A = this chain, B = another copy of it.
Amino acid sequence: MSIRTLDKVVKNCNIYRMMTEDEKRRCELRANMFKALAHPLRIYMLEKLKERPWCVCELAAELGVDKSIASKYLTILKDAGLVGMQKRGILVEYTLTAPCVLNLAACAESDVLSNRKKALLG
């Protein structure tokens, strides 16, 4: 087939297959994890939690936000499977349960950052 008939081929035939349900689920799962990570302060929270467990009000103070905000961020991270919580008396202690996400965050400073520089320059 000629290279200039791609759109027509695409519309009339089905050489392009649909996503399977499994693929759909997997991509949604991954996207959900990334969505939880898509906020600067939630990233910062995870970096703090890498050092040691923190309670909500400590993190709220460290981030300079209301405790309701900090609590919501932590809920989002927990639902994404990135942190865990445990009641300790009056406090609620959050801990990092998926340290791998921070290793991968370093990816942003290597490959990705140099790509962006290239993109800006050229």
Contacts and interface: CB of A to CB of B under 8 A. Distances in A.
Interface residues of A, number: 67
Contacts of A110: 100
B104 A100 contact: yes
**Chain A interface, >50% SS class:** helix
Contact of A10 (B18, B57, B91): B57
* Oligomer copy total: 2
Nearest to A82: B112
Contacts of A58: 6, 10, 16
A4 B63 CA distance: 20
A107 interface: yes
A39 interface: yes
Interface string A19-49: 1000110111111011101111111100100
A85 to B, nearest CB: 9
Contact of A111 (B26, B98, B107): B98
